[in-house]
Amino acid sequence: MRSKKTKFIFVTGGVVSSLGKGLASASIGALLENRGLDITLIKLDPYINVDPGTMSPFQHGEVFVTEDGGETDMDLGHYERFTHARMSRLNNFTSGRIYNAVITKERRGEYLGKTVQVIPHITDEIKASIRQASQDVDVVIVEVGGTVGDIESLPFLEAIRQMRYDVGSQNAVYIHLTLLPYIGAAGEVKTKPTQHSVMKLREIGIQPDFLLCRTDREISRELKDKIAMFCNVDNGNVFTSPDVRSIYELPLELHRQGLDERLAEVLNIWSRAPHLEKWETIVRKIYEPARGEVTVAIVGKYVNLTESYKSLNESLLHGGIANDVRVKLRFVDSQDVEAQGPESTLAGVDAVLVPGGFGVRGTEGKIAAVRYAREQKLPFFGICLGLQMAVVEFSRTVLGLKGANSLEFDEHTAHPVVTLMESQVKVQDKGGTMRLGSYACALKDGTVARKLYAQDAIQERHRHRYEVNNAYRGRLQEAGLVISGHNPELNLVEMIELSDHPYFVGCQFHPEFKSKPFAPHPLFSGFIGAALAQRDSTRGAAPVPPVRA
């Protein structure tokens, strides 16, 4: 069987950070995949950390976890949500990981006494990493993190410059994403930042083939022609990445401009016309939901930076798509719940979600939120730490175990109902040592979990060190806590629920890492469905039947 001739699309960014390279790359991937092509995506991150696993969410945002246990950049979440491509640890490389690999080889003597340098050794390692993740696909989209001009990104830019010579000019294109700012005082969109950014990229040796200009307004053909002339880009290769109300509209907008068709033409790829009906349905359900709106409270400690819960936020939106309802998110700082009480901070919501997190700050507020949802019969969903806080609250309130807690937050608690996993006791290094990646979960018959998944056994992704203490498992079950899912190999609690509650579900894993807009995760679909039922019952509204796509 003849191996595929892989094409490469390299995406760089200029002017400022946070322009949306990840979303642009994911949207391009979605368009090419819908043209019948096998695609994958790679993120190259210039920072020195080996991976983002030890970085604060305030510094980096969410850490996305892959099936094989890689702790990766949050953009890999966009890649998986927009496409069917399955990400792994091979799809995200940092400067730290590259340099660590080169230094390890040098210590083993693999360079035969040569002086180890950025060129060729670092750049060769980067190119080898790209090739390793590019097996048996038609197109690889490689996103380079950071902004052109950053000193730390230079080895990555040099590596992708070289790759065009390695694979042939007909098999590689460069897309540069820049900003076109509107200056209100002048009443003009300014192209100079884009010109300077392209000039900096050309100094490095890369001439972009396409420009994708981030803008908040329509750009005239005349302005695009001006940009093309001053940046030495073909007239037909200047596109815009406009502000859109939903990120899921971006593939449709880029297709409307003809970006995917032009890419296929330049790369000499034969492909069918894209089938984008599912994206049109998704956008319709987001903008014009048939069943109104529900309000969900997310009670956490990173609520001032919503990027910390990116996959979670998107998964709740997916749950809304599944139920044809708009999901309004109310971010509630768990410390505010501690100070003001849940009655005021959670008033008027249709459901409560307690997400994952680390550290003792705000945990009592999360416990108070769990109790409020349990006693007020509000739909509740606890994820990872959220499940653990539900177990602590149940132990204190229902079992009467005074001071029950997690060993993570109180090493001297008399009742460690949540404890450190046995495999974690002697772990010293923090990076990449948690229970990470996909593990099996067996579901109990007759439970909400079993009904939602519609199967007996599932695989879900984990990221944690602490587990429900099996020493208390019997007492918890006798008091009414249902263990609806467990890991059969390690005999660990994976899911809990309450049978005397409209909807009270907790999971030790992170289902948000597997949800997609066109394939919402069943736990989020069920949770939003419960919120919708709660809204209808408390507000006296007649239930609106679901509308099928």
Give the single-character DSSP code of 235: G
Q: Is the peptide bond before 242 cis (omega within 30 degrees of 0)?
A: no
**What whole-number distance in Å separates Cα of residue 394 and Cα of residue 389?**
9
Residue 258 neighbours by CB distance under 10 Å: 12
Tokens of 39: 């695609």
Active-site residue numbers?
384, 510, 512
Binding-site entries for Mg(2+): 75, 143
**What whole-number distance in Å separates Cα of residue 87 and Cα of residue 461?**
13
Q: 372 in helix, strand or coil?
A: helix
Contacts of 208 (CB under 8 A, 6+ apart): 12, 174, 175, 176, 198, 201, 231, 233
Binding-site entries for UTP: 17, 190-195, 226
Tokens of 243: 């502000």
Residue 216 neighbours by CB distance under 10 Å: 11
Residue given tokens 């602490």 in the structure block: 466
CA neighbor of 370 nearest in space, from 351, 393, 388 = 393
Phi–psi pair at 159, nearest 5 degrees: -65, -45
**What whole-number distance in Å separates Cα of residue 167 and Cα of residue 30?**
24
Give how far Cα 387 sits from Cα of 256, 366, 477, 489, 494, Å. Answer: 44, 10, 15, 20, 9
CA neighbor of 252 nearest in space, from 36, 23, 41 = 23
**What whole-number distance in Å separates Cα of residue 479 and Cα of residue 234?**
70
Binding-site entries: 17-23, 75, 143, 150-152, 190-195, 226, 244, 357, 385-388, 408, 465
